[in-house]
Each structure stands twice: as C-alpha cells, then as structure tokens.
Amino acid sequence: MLNYHKLALGFTFFFLLSFSSIAQMIAPPTWSVELQNQNPKAGEETQIIFKAEIPENWYIYSNEFEDFGPIQIELDLDGSSGIERIGDLKAVEPKTKYDDVWEGEVKYFDKTGEFRQEIKITDDNALIKGMLEYQMCSEVTGQCILFDEEFEINLGSAPTTSTAEPAGTGEVDTKEADDLPSKARPSHIETGEDKGSMITFMVVAFLAGLAALLTPCVFPMIPMTVTFFTGRSKSRSQGIRNAFIYGFSIIAIYTIAGTLVAAIQGPEFANWLSTHWVPNVFFFLIFIFFGLAFLGMFELTLPSGLVNAVDSKADKGGLTGLFFMAFTLVLVSFSCTGPIVGSILIESAGGQLAKPILGMFAFSLAFAIPFTLFAIFPEWLNTLPKSGGWLNSVKVVLGFLELALAFKFLSIADQVYHWGLLDRDIYIGIWIVIFTLLGLYLLGKIRLPHDSPVEVVSVPRLLMAMTTFIFVVYMIPGLWGAPLKTLSGYLPPMSTHDFNLIKVIREDGGGTGRVSTLDDTPKFSDFLHLPHGLEGYFDYEQALAAAKRADKPLFIDFTGHGCVNCREMEAKVWVESPVLKRLKEDFVVVALYIDERYELPENDWYTSDYDGKVKKTIGKQNADFQITRFNNNAQPYYVILDHNEELLATPKGYDSNVARFVQFLDDAKEEFERRR
C-alpha cells in the first residue's frame, strides 16, 4: 500500500552533487572492438563485436526500443571500404524496464554491455572504420552524457591480440571522441532510492504498524496480553523481562518474514517485478482482495489447526512459551495485519536486500512497543478507549486506501503493454470516486458489514471527512490536465490524458497571439523554444549582444530536447513565480541545446581545440562550448555571466529546491550590480 515520491538524498548528496557539478569531465566506458573470426576472406560473413566496460553507477542505453526520448546507441560505418553491412546493430541480452519518466519501455546495460554488427567481407584488405554514438547516464548524479566512440580495424595490417574469444584480427584502434553532454537520466532503472529514501520507507512502515494496532483483530489483544503477564509473573522484574522478550519475539517473527522475501530477490527479479504484467496484475488483484476483505466482504483466516498448534506451544512457559505466544498473536491478528504486511512486502520487492528486512522491522517495532509498554505499566490500560465500532471503521478506511493504491500496479502493466485501460483521466476519475465514497462513509452516509450505526459524527471523524473531500476537490482539475504535482508518483503519464485543457491553452496561447518584446528575432526560434512563455535566445553570441543592450546579466541554460532533469527543473522550479519573475525581468536567457542536430552552414563550421574535430551542428558546437569554457559536460547546467563573459556565481546543476535556485539568481544579480 506504500508508494512514495522521490525525496532528496540528504545534505551530503547535495553537497557532493553541487561540488561535482562545478567542474567535471565524465570519462566514457572502456570499449574493445574485434571481429568474430580470424582472418576473414572476401565473400565471408562475420560480426564486429563491441564490448563496453561501464563505469560504476552508470549505464548506457541499448537500442531496439521505441524512439521516444533517450538516445539509442547507433553505429555509423562511414569511411569503411571492402565490406557490406548486413542488418542493424544488435544488442546482446540487454536489460529491459518500464521508465515512467520517459513513459515507455527502455533497454540498457550496466557494468558491461555487448553489441554485434553482421557484415560481409568483399575485399581481403578491407578497412572497417566507424563510430558508435550512445548515451551514458547515472542515477547517482542525475546526469547523462552523449559520447562518440571511434574505431578502426584494418584487415590489411598485421594481426594483433584481442581480448575476446575467438581472437579477432587486424589492427584495432579505439579512440575516445566527443564528450558530449545530452539528455538527462530516466527516473528510474528501478532502485529503492527511486521509490523513496529508505528512512521514509521505514517511517511509513512504522506508521503502518501503528495503524494495525487500531484494528478489531489486534486492539482487544492488548488487555488480554497484559493480563497474561501480570497473572503469571512472580515479580515485577520478571514481568518486565517477559514483556521485553515478548516484544522482541514479535519483532523477530516479522523481520524473519522480511528476510525470507529479501532472500529470493535480486536485481533481475526486481527488473521483472517492475516491468512484467504478471506480477503487477497479481499485485493489483492482491490489493483488491485485501481491500474487499477490509471492507467486510469476507474474513481472512489462517487454518485453525496451525493456530491451535502454535497456541499449544505457548502454554509451555519459559522463553519458548513467550516466543510462541508472540507467534500466536501474529497468527490470530493475521486477518487484520495480513493486508498491511503484504502491502509492505510488495512495496519492498525491488531487488534490495535491506528494504524488506528493515520495512518489516519498522512495522513490527511499532506493533510490539505498545504490547511491551502496557505489560510493563498495566495501569496505563485505564487510559485506553473501549473497543467498539470505531475499530471496524479503521479497518474500512484502510480498505478504501488499499483499493485506491491497487490501481498503481495495474497502471504500470497498462503503460508497458499499451493496453489503454487506465488513461490518466480514467485513473483520476477512479480515485475521485473511491475517496468520495470514503468521505461519505466517514460521515456515516454509507454503512458496511460489521459497522455500528453512526448516530453522531465525532469531531475527529468529521475532520477526516473534510480532509478527504479537500483531496477530492484537489484532484478534480486533474481531469482537465492540471499537473497534480503532489500525486505525480502515483498517476499515469500526462501523455495518456484524453483531453488536456492546460496543454491546449499553453500551446495555443488561449486563442490570443503573443507579441515578442525582444529587439531582434532570435536565431533558430522557429524550431527551438523556451518554457512558460519566457522570451530568449538560442545562440550564445546573439544573446550576449542582447544582454549588453539590455544591461542585464546573461543566464545560460545548457539543456537538451530529451533532458528529463531539465524538464523537471522547468516544471518544478522555473514555473514557480519567484524564479519565473526573475528570469523574465532580471536576465537575458539563452538556451543552448546540446543534442540539437541541425547542421549549420559550412562557413559556420569550426575545428575544436579540445578534440580536433569539426563541429557542424548546433548541438556539437554548444557541447564544445560547455566543455572548453566551463569544463563540464552534463545537463542541466546553469551559468550566469556578466558582459565581460565572467562568472557572476558558481554554476549550478540539477537542484529542485526553489529557495536555493532563487538565491543563485539573486547572488548573481547582486554581483552584477556590484561590478557595475
């Protein structure tokens, strides 16, 4: 039942990230290039084998998936002679996952990767020459970089030793080429950090343990347990000792269950869980099953023989008896705790060893503490509310939440396999109905099995109903395209929305034309654009001249068409009025697209001092400018300059904190005024 927004990784992470983003050059993977068989002759077919050793915490995109954002690896054999290309470049067993940021299924390699290209040799002295272009990304730093890797195999030269099997032939010369920045990372090759921080997961699991206490299967057990300890203990000290052993036994039982789940998991299992329709549909059905059980449609019970056998062990006394008494509590309360425990284990099933163990530890800790404390201080029992219909109400509320969260799993399968069952507006509509029914239930307008009549609505219940209806009202604009940022981690992608009124207004300008206030026409503005109605430039020299005329600092946005982190910064930071107002009024903005492949006229080409290559496109020239001038090759990257092209503030990378970004802008503006 637990699904989380992405959270910050903490002060240390941001410190390291901000420090590394100031000046860094990311090294590419190490490539080896060889032929499948030795000494191929004219008329024979063979394969070029490309193997990559990928740096730790980085991965590269493969190919053979839908072209919707990430740059797939491409092989260019221009410059080769004496060969014929057969088919396309093939990836050897890439990993596959659904990426909800890119809104599609992607293929990738981490640690190592292998690609093969089939060719036919038409000349004994063939020259195999070309270039691989690919995108490498990191989830740790949130960066992606586009690299070019050149290679050359000359069959007419003396053979050299190859590291692959079978040994290749010819002279292999692998060269590092452009360290080009490009599109930012997809949000998740599924990891625990993508789901939310481990601490947050444990906090929510702990709260789930507290919620489990307030169910009709568990709450009445508290006084029964206290009576057991006070009746059998010969002294207070023995009672306290037994209470601690009892509590530790509860924690041990649940944690062992988490350990068993962790033991069967692994990265490949996690990838299968996150992408395949079978587990996601299964989880959807399980959540529906649990939800209906909580609503009172049926009762979840374990076999009576198992419960009785464990209960008989509890009567033996001693440490063994205390352990089995705790085990009896776990089994007897299963009908209420089972759905909650199952939800935690499902949410934790992501390939991490620690997550299910720590999740169950946190849940059981919250579950065990009250039993232990009331056993130590039995007089506290007088402060407990009496059992009654309110306990079933807690269970029903949890049932509504289970039903709502079940659709997240069905949504994942729907997006991967393009079933078209749960478009964004349909998903939002389902949630509106579920939470409206929950609000009516809290007001006593709906009565379910095992419920007591609600003659008077208590103030806490009324407040819960009000909160639920406020949430419903918040969701309603989402039916027409409102972003609903708070729920972005739960909802299907905006691209599945049938009628996005917000998008129509933004793209069409609400039916009114917008007149530019710039004193010249920006180059490339017919196909390059800035977000949120910002006016600016897409050529550095033109923007610098405009900044001088306007007597404003120059704000440089190194970005990319498919840069996810760039889009997130625009959607979460730039859109905020303190940031947008400053960008519009206090700076001249220039967006330099690193991955723009528009080829400039030949008289605008130049040879880079960095790598000695001719830069022909807008993207390659912008990338070369970022590398040579700022010693950085990742996006997003924000630079603010004065009219002498000197830095006004330390350049900034990805940072979704609005206050820090505002401070970044204000510091640069203040320094600009000081220099004037």
Above 60 in pLDDT, residue 177? no
- Measured CA to CA, the distance from residue 430 to residue 444 in angstroms comes to 21
Number of CB atoms found within 10 A of residue 459's CB:
7
Mean pLDDT (whole number) for 603-629 = 90
3-class DSSP state for residue 307?
Answer: helix
Long-range contacts of 352-356 (CB under 8 A, 24+ apart): 352/191, 352/192, 352/262, 352/265, 352/270, 353/262, 353/265, 354/198, 354/262, 355/192, 355/198, 355/201, 355/262, 356/258, 356/259, 356/261, 356/262, 356/265
- Measured CA to CA, the distance from residue 676 to residue 671 in angstroms comes to 9
Above 80 in pLDDT, residue 40? yes
Above 50 in pLDDT, residue 167? no
Q: What is the pLDDT of residues 390-445, one digit of tens each?
A: 667 877 887 888 788 788 778 877 765 667 788 888 999 999 999 999 999 999 89
Mean pLDDT of all residues belonging to the chain: 75
Q: What is the pLDDT of residues 329-363, one digit of tens each?
A: 666 565 556 656 666 666 555 445 576 778 788 88
Mean pLDDT (whole number) for 447-451 = 82
Domains and CATH numbers, the chain: 11-181 (2.60.40.1250), 192-422 (no CATH), 423-513 (no CATH), 514-675 (3.40.30.10)
Position 446: which residue type?
A: I
Q: What is the pLDDT of residues 560-597, one digit of tens each?
A: 775 667 777 887 899 888 999 999 999 999 999 987 88
Q: What is the pLDDT of residue 189?
A: 35
Mean pLDDT (whole number) for 614-634 = 89
Q: What is the pLDDT of residues 60-74, one digit of tens each?
A: 989 888 776 677 899
Q: What is the pLDDT of residue 579?
A: 94
Task: Give the DSSP per-residue string, 164-194.
Answer: SSS---SEE--EEEEEEE-PPPPS-SS-HHH
Tokens of 568: 């997130």
pLDDT band at 502 (very low <50, low <70, confident <90, very high): low
Q: What is the pLDDT of residue 594?
A: 85
Q: What is the pLDDT of residues 281-321, one digit of tens each?
A: 877 887 788 778 778 887 655 455 545 554 555 545 556 66
37 or 5, greater pLDDT: 37
- Measured CA to CA, the distance from residue 149 to residue 31 in angstroms comes to 8
Backbone φ and ψ of 143, nearest 5°? -120, 160
Q: State whether the Cα torsion 458-460-463-467 is positive or negative.
A: negative
